[in-house]
């Protein structure tokens, strides 16, 4: 009877040990997290992932040609002058002169020409007064204006005076006249007999010529 009790105890001990081994084998191990990688990306990898900008074509601009819209002032060197007509009546005389543009480009005239009466020795006549006048006995009064002369074109003006004298007086007579284009300093000389008995000569501003020969 005693022997049976010992065997029973041994059986219970073996059973307990077997159960413990089985329980320990059923535990599942949790995977460990891998450490973050500290390796830097290579230069080749960065270049391959960066988009390449598209080069813009270079634009070459061509400057526009500058066109002169305002003709320059006429210079004496590019002009000629001549008498184109003569009117007389009631003791008054009006001589019409025309400037001609002999240059190759347009130019402008604006204002009154200069005038000087010369004697046979090319000296100014004494006692002569030149008066700027918008009109004469033979022309209506007109304000000064800018006249553009194309090559070969003309602008006119008048010289007017009174040539009636009394028996007691002697009128001065010119042998030549000097005409200076407006706003210039050089003059043009013509052989011209002008007899201003009153000592006054009127000069009008330059005007455009409607009809030209």
Q: Where residue 190 falls among pLDDT bands split at 50, 70, 90?
A: very high
Condensed to tens digits (0 to 9), the pLDDT of residues 65-111 reads 334 467 899 999 999 999 999 998 888 999 999 999 999 999 999 99
CA quadruple 7, 10, 12, 18: dihedral, nearest 10: -140
Phi and psi based region of residue 15 (left: phi greater than 0; alpha: psi -120 to 50; beta: remaining): alpha
| Residue 64 included in any domain | no
Buried b (16+ CB within 10 A) or exposed e, 87-122: eeeeebbbbbbbbbbebeebbbbbbbbbbbbbeeee
CB-based contacts of 142, cutoff 8 Å, min separation 6 = 134, 135, 204, 205, 207
170 compared with 82, residue with greater pLDDT: 82
Give me the domain span that covers residue 204. 72-208
Check whether 207 has a pLDDT greater than 60: yes
* CATH code for the domain of 108: 2.60.40
| Residue 137 included in any domain | yes
C-alpha span between 160 and 170 (Å, rounded): 19
| Residue 94 included in any domain | yes
Domains in the chain, number: 1
Pairing of the two strands 129-132 and 114-118? unpaired
| Residue 103 included in any domain | yes
| Residue 184 included in any domain | yes
| Residue 20 included in any domain | no
Condensed to tens digits (0 to 9), the pLDDT of residues 104-130 reads 999 999 999 999 999 999 999 999 999
């Amino acid at each position: 009877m005693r022997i049976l009790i010992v065997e029973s105890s041994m059986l219970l001990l073996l059973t307990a040990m077997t159960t413990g081994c089985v329980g320990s084998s059923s535990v599942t191990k949790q995977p460990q997290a891998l450490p973050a990688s500290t390796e830097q990306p290579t230069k080749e990898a960065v270049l391959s992932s960066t988009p390449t900008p598209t080069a813009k074509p270079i634009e070459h601009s061509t400057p526009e040609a500058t066109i002169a819209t305002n003709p320059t002032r006429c210079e004496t060197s590019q002009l000629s002058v001549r008498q184109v007509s003569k009117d007389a009546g009631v003791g008054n005389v009006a001589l019409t002169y025309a400037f001609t543009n002999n240059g190759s480009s347009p130019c402008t005239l604006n204002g009154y020409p200069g005038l000087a009466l010369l004697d046979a020795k090319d000296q100014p006549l004494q006692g002569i007064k030149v008066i700027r006048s918008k009109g004469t006995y033979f022309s209506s009064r007109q304000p000064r204006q800018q006249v553009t002369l194309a090559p070969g074109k003309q602008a006119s003006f008048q010289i007017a005076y009174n040539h009636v004298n009394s028996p007691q007086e002697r009128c001065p007579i010119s042998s030549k006249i000097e005409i200076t284009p407006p706003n210039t300093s050089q003059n043009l000389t013509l052989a011209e007999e002008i007899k201003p008995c009153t000592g006054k000569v009127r000069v009008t501003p330059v005007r455009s010529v409607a009809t030209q020969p």
